[in-house]
Chains A and B, each alone.
Chain A
């Protein structure tokens, strides 16, 4: 079943890529001085994209299993190399697509027109949106890789140009880190295709083809390092890219500096979405194409993820800069997602999927709040904030709700994901689930330190801290609504996703 049906014959998915680009083109043509026009252009195109994506979500047929894609589009691109323009959406990407559209809209709304070179800012944003959407939609590995890399460029500029502090260093570090992973993945992609070619005799980078012929056999390493399974080798290649992007401990050191120096609208997208793309990649490729390797590496990576949970939590506990604090909190939460993925069972993966959405919503909201605090207080240092609830009660209330969602309070969305993830992890490896539980307790600790430290006690400082404006509230409301809705009645999620996840090869092994 589906909520409603969309007319066929329309390239819906391509539209979701084209509309932001069209918006970017319009922005490019607009005069640089007309900042408000530019902003409205950005908002409008992002809004249209959002509506389109909502239509797609609504028109998505539930319960179609065995890796069945919808709104599929396939065109020849580089036939000689077996590369094609193949788009499709399934349970794994459906809601992330929505998150993508939503976060970009919010980010553009909060973008401040007084930003220098605002035109280029919005321009890059829209391009970035197209790239991220492409990552979620592409079913051809090369196409995916193209979007994956194309995403780097706008991000790099958005941090390197509009960032603050050690922006260039941050951008470089992020870029180099990411590129290392990407090239590992590129080699793996080529190898996968080569193996598939040797099996089927016709070149193809198409996910739906490759998944039919999982690699097998093993490879004799040089220098007498013993043998390693081909699948494992390829798995590592892919995983490296995604683990760095998430990031999973210990590949995370680009994260704090990048998040800290990125401007708020960027970091919303960056933390809220881009990190999920790593997790998405893990599910889409590592779990789907290399099920055996996923099982053999699962425990180790789950361990890393769990370490990440605790590590991030402890780091968050002692941060003095709120942005940094949230960055590490994000890392800790991503550890949960990783844990769920590598638990490699139905509940774990579904938990991870729903937690991707939740984390996107929560972290975006947290960074928004940090940004609002910074705009009002002119500082992000916890030591310089106190008792603001007295002067900004509404702000305090909304912030409180976000914090509670962040610490996984049952009844809000954070709990849903963490519950399922830990349940999945408990089935796979109990000790890690227990450690994750400790992570939850630590989360309560540092989140409350964050909230209480800045908004409670007395006297309020800095003086002249103002209450939320309507636009701020308006930006936060949709996120809060999601937190509550997903927390109270999340069943729409498994309804749409269940079939796809059940069909993942890793579960069938």
Chain B
């Protein structure tokens, strides 16, 4: 098993290096299959690992020392337990699907090789992130996924919008990275370890709920929030949709953005030890879930809607891990990976069909034109809005149940989650009804083309996953890590199921009413709540706020330093001194008149000075020199 770990990493690494170095020389199909195959291979290794983990094995193997001086010891070690195994499986599995899909989707793109190189780099870093056995390498992987996300958002670097989005994403993630680095500092300075095993075994040395542990957890949360696009560091995710759709599917939906959830789950011992921090996580999650959902209701760009739904769903996961329902959180992570990847890829097909037009108002009634996409997208929609017996139904319900059954403030978060569920159903069906429509068109004059099989087959597979993934006993699988979740009575289970289904139906009903049955009503209502709608449509003006509060002042300060402080003040002082010397020099120079008599005068002055000194010595003058 200690060989399998590196192998999982090696596969995408080799793929990345091959494509990065020789990608432009290789024939396109080969490139595609290398890129995807590497991940597929990794998936195979992951399955091998799974089999052993199911056998109850875990791994914590050190391969080499990264830095050792004094008690600062950082190994490169891999840490494999059910949690990371689950992550690996999802990453490689879903990743493989998406990469296969990309072969078709990116088929015509000049940057084909570059794309797959980046994708493999991403998979590599993501695997590193989840497999690393210590914080430093976690951070390295963490930054690696940030980098590849940056690269892929800015994949079409000719687009200014893409470039800006990429930079935004990177800078915001850097904020998170710094937060995590600081967390690592505090952990090291208080516990003198940076590897998980030592860390988990020593957490208890800190006072429970004390400042230190709380601060550590909050700093970790900063990283998690930045990476998972939770409030308040969420603004980069919608813009990240500038990247190719498979990227959005893999990185900004299925895997990377959930790294925050993984982090909290991985550090659950710490969060158990810092209740205040845990609550913060939950609050952030719950609020984000609702907040993002509201924005989702007003967007018209298909990918942006999905992006906000992603935020919202990750909010659920944060809520879950925040209230200690780690298994539920990871469960939802997995199901979400399926249906959100599915949704994005389906959306990608639609976008292709409409020649890169992403405005849902320009679409509609695709059942005839894009049947596969239509049905798969419908499945995804049902799954995400928690339609009974679909994957999303189980995972989301577990979270809501956990929240509601929790005491105190979490209860209200549960209520919020419930409302969000309704909103989810609303905006997802709004999307579906607007973009895909209902009725069958006998003949579609738009001549839409369904995507290639290489794209549709993965979609179908994922659709299947979106249906059945709910039946995978994730909680049981993760129980070695998080312990057994409390058994819930059938009554509570069915009661809550009914409740959430009801809420979902309400959401669906409004969506149906406003966007399928009587669109004029939608217009009327929109005008009635114009200010509120504007607020939501403009994402609560948070981008503008940040621009005003951080970006512009930053530049203003920089310019001030450049134009005033540097040139006038600091350098001014220096040059001023130099000029002063020159002026003085000129003054002295004037003595030299060239006239003997003046020279004599100066000499006599000197002699006079000598006499004065003598007089001063002997005390003939008011002041006295010497003893």
Contact = CB atoms under 8 A, between A and B. Distances in A.
Nearest to B139: A410
A437 B557 contact: no
Given A253-B571, A315-B561, A389 B67 contact: no
A402 to B, nearest CB: 14
Interface stretch (A8-16, A230-238, A418-426, A464-472): A418-426
Given A448-B171, A456-B163, A489-B64, A346 B69 contact: yes
Contacts of B76: 489
Interface string B65-78: 11111101000100
Contact of A411 (B140, B159, B188): B140
Contacts of B147: 404, 409
Contacts of A440: 174, 177-178
B524 interface: no
Contacts of B20: 397
Nearest to B551: A445
Contact of A457 (B24, B65, B158, B558): B158
A495 B73 CA distance: 12
Interface string B134-178: 001001101110010000001001111001001100110011011
B555 A494 contact: no
B389 interface: no
A434 B181 CA distance: 11
A140 interface: no
B566 interface: yes
Contacts, number: 133
Contacts of A448: 167, 170-171
The 4 A-B residue pairs with the shortest CB-CB distance in the complex, in nearest-first order: A458-B158, A456-B157, A410-B143, A494-B69
Given A457-B157, A457-B160, 19 more contacts: A318-B558, A319-B562, A347-B69, A347-B70, A387-B158, A410-B139, A410-B140, A416-B67, A419-B181, A433-B182, A437-B178, A437-B181, A440-B177, A441-B174, A448-B170, A452-B166, A455-B157, A456-B157, A458-B158
Interface residues of B, number: 50
Contact of B70 (A346, A419, A426, A493): A346
B186 to A, nearest CB: 8
B554 interface: yes
Contacts of A497: 69
A110 interface: no
Given A318-B558, A452-B167, A491 B140 contact: no
Contact of B66 (A389, A422, A489, A501): A489
Interface in A414-446: 415-416, 419-420, 422-423, 426-427, 433-434, 437-438, 440-442, 444-445
B118 to A, nearest CB: 11
B555 A317 contact: yes
Nearest to B185: A426
Contacts of B591: none
A64 B58 CA distance: 40
A497 B67 CA distance: 12
A452 B170 CA distance: 12
Given A315-B566, A456-B157, A457-B160, A441 B171 contact: yes
Nearest to A250: B570
Nearest to A459: B158
B618 interface: no
A509 B76 CA distance: 33
Interface string B38-75: 00000000000000000000000000111111101000
Interface in A86-104: none
B559 interface: yes
A68 interface: no
B189 interface: yes
B182 A444 contact: no
B185 A491 contact: no
B218 to A, nearest CB: 14
A411 B570 contact: no
Interface string B543-580: 00000000000110111011000100011001000100
B154 A315 contact: no
Contacts of A250: 570
A440 B67 CA distance: 21
A65 interface: no
A498 interface: yes
Interface in B14-32: 20, 24
A197 interface: no
Contact of B64 (A433, A491, A498): A491
Contacts of A423: 72, 185, 188-189
Interface string B97-119: 00000000000000000000000
Contacts of A437: 178, 181-182
A444 B181 CA distance: 15
Contacts of B167: 445, 448-449, 452
A315 B570 contact: no
Contacts of A292: none
A498 B144 contact: no
A452 B154 contact: yes
A264 B157 CA distance: 29
A410 B562 contact: no
16 contacts: A389-B157, A410-B136, A410-B140, A410-B144, A419-B181, A423-B72, A437-B178, A437-B182, A440-B174, A441-B171, A448-B170, A458-B158, A489-B64, A491-B65, A494-B67, A498-B69
A495 B558 CA distance: 41
A311 interface: yes
A145 interface: no
Contacts of B189: 423, 426-427
A203 interface: no
Interface in A245-295: 250, 252-253
A350 interface: yes
A498 B140 CA distance: 24
A314 interface: yes
Contacts of A397: 20
Contacts of B571: 253
A390 interface: yes
Given A411-B140, A441-B175, A317 B158 contact: no
Interface string A453-490: 00111100000000000000000000000000000011
A419 B571 CA distance: 32
Interface in B500-526: none
Contacts of A498: 69-70
B159 to A, nearest CB: 8
Contacts of B157: 387, 389, 452, 455-458
A350 B69 contact: yes
A261 to B, nearest CB: 15
Nearest to B20: A397
B618 to A, nearest CB: 25
Interface in A385-399: 387, 389-390, 393, 397
Nearest to A501: B69
B139 A433 contact: no
A411 B171 CA distance: 17
Given A437-B181, A444-B174, A314 B68 contact: no
Nearest to B138: A410
Contacts of B70: 346-347, 498, 502
Contacts of B174: 407, 440-441, 444
A173 B157 CA distance: 42
Interface in A6-47: none
A386 to B, nearest CB: 10
B171 A445 contact: yes
Which of A177, A449, A490, A491 is most buried by chain B, counting CB atoms within 10 A of its CB? A491
Interface string B527-556: 000000000000000000000000000110
A411 B129 CA distance: 12
A444 B167 CA distance: 9
A458 B20 CA distance: 23
A318 B555 contact: yes
Given A318-B558, A437-B181, A489-B64, A390 B170 contact: no
A498 B65 CA distance: 15
